[in-house]
Amino acid sequence: MSLIEPNAPSNTVVEMNQIVLPQHTNALGTAFGGTIMSWVDICAALCAQRHCRRAVVTASMDQLDFVMPVRQGQMVNLRGMVNFVGRTSMEVGVRVEAEDMLTGLRVHAASAYLTFVALDGEGKPCAVRALAPETGLEKQRCEEAQARRQQRLDLAAQRKRIAARHAP
């Protein structure tokens, strides 16, 4: 497939599994949020690279919501997919589930949205191929991602205005 041709979100899916070991946990025996965040970032980066076939860097992580604690000995299942593509950036959604290895019970533990920027050989942002949502759910995720992108852009503009007012 040529990098010029649009790519379906289903082609960007990455699934990862991690076991929660003692070094990943706090005094309560639950995984450190930063450890989960790191795994989410890795999963999302792989999705973005799978889409654009280029080096990528994390531009932002937002809406990282911890729903349930993840306990030592549980397996963490991460599933990510590219939701939206701009000119040089991509939004990736990651869902985290904790699985009890003795019962097989899986619970939603966390979710996050991350933005990545594709880089050329000189480390500069470069254009990425389009995303072509195929299913109704993929189209819905793309529309919701566009709305989140606009919110991020609006917030960045607001921060820039505030910084300009406080500049010496």
* The pLDDT of residue 70: 98
pTM of the model: 0.91
Contacts of 61 (CB under 8 A, 6+ apart): 37, 40, 41, 112, 113, 114, 115
Is the Cβ–Cβ distance between 12 and 53 less than 8 Å?
no
Q: How far apart are CA 132 and CA 127, in angstroms?
A: 16
Q: How far apart are CA 117 and CA 125, in angstroms?
A: 6
Domains of the chain: 9-165 (3.10.129.10)
Element of type H or E holding 139:
helix 136-165
pLDDT digits (tens), the chain, 168 positions: 445 799 999 999 999 999 999 999 999 999 999 999 999 999 999 999 999 999 999 999 988 999 999 999 999 999 999 999 999 999 999 999 999 999 999 999 999 999 999 999 999 999 999 999 999 999 999 999 999 999 998 998 999 999 898 888
Compute the radius of gyration of the chain from its Cα atoms: 18
127 φ, ψ (degrees, to nearest 5): -65, 145
Place of tokens 């999963």: 43
Element of type H or E holding 41:
helix 33-52
103 φ, ψ (degrees, to nearest 5): -110, -20
* The pLDDT of residue 166: 87
* The pLDDT of residue 2: 47
